[in-house]
Amino acid sequence: MSRLSPASRKALLTLHLVTSLGWLGADLVLLTLGVAGLRGADPAVVYPTAALVVTFLFAPLSVVVWVVGVASSLLTPWGLLRHRWVLVKLILTTAMAGLVLLVLTPNVRAAGELGAAVDARQQIDLVIAPSVSTSVLIVATVLSTYKPWGRLRRAVPAARRPAIAARRP
């Protein structure tokens, strides 16, 4: 596992922050459009716009955030499977990216094609989904900030490893 120079690590962290904030921003735009649709805004404008946001911003950002996050964990001292908070973020981000690509994107594109014919159930779904994902993104941000729970397993110093191995039956 290669490590990055401090400058490269900061550049990767900056990229991760910018793409993550972009994902959150796109999520809030979808939420705003969904609420506007529920409140009577022109569905022939709202839902095609939401489809454009999902297709060209939200879905690509979900993939970029996941890739940059995995790269950040692998190329920095945090590691991918060293700390519980990193593992939880990986699980949350993987689940969200999967749901964005496999469920949300097709549903919003379908609503975009329907425009004014979007039914009440679809309108509500287009508020609930970004509400939940915004909450998950905020949880991921809190995890990154507070870094709770410690390490997944304690690292054993190299000098003690042979003694531990010798005691095993």
- Supply the DSSP string of 104-149, one letter for each residue: IHHHHHHHHHHGGG--HHHHHHHHHHHHHHHHHHHHHHHHHHH--S
Residue-wise pLDDT for 127-162, tens only, equals 999 999 999 999 999 999 999 988 877 655 555 555
Rounded distance between C-alpha atoms, residue 7 and residue 12, angstroms? 9
Rounded distance between C-alpha atoms, residue 17 and residue 19, angstroms? 6
Confidence category of residue 4, pLDDT binned at 50, 70, 90: confident
Residue-wise pLDDT for 50-61, tens only, equals 999 999 999 999
Name the percent of the chain in helix, strand, coil, to the closest 5: 80, 0, 20
pTM: 0.84
What is the CATH number assigned to the segment(s) 6-152? 1.20.120
What residue ranges do the domains of the chain occupy?
6-152
SS3 of 6, please?
Answer: helix
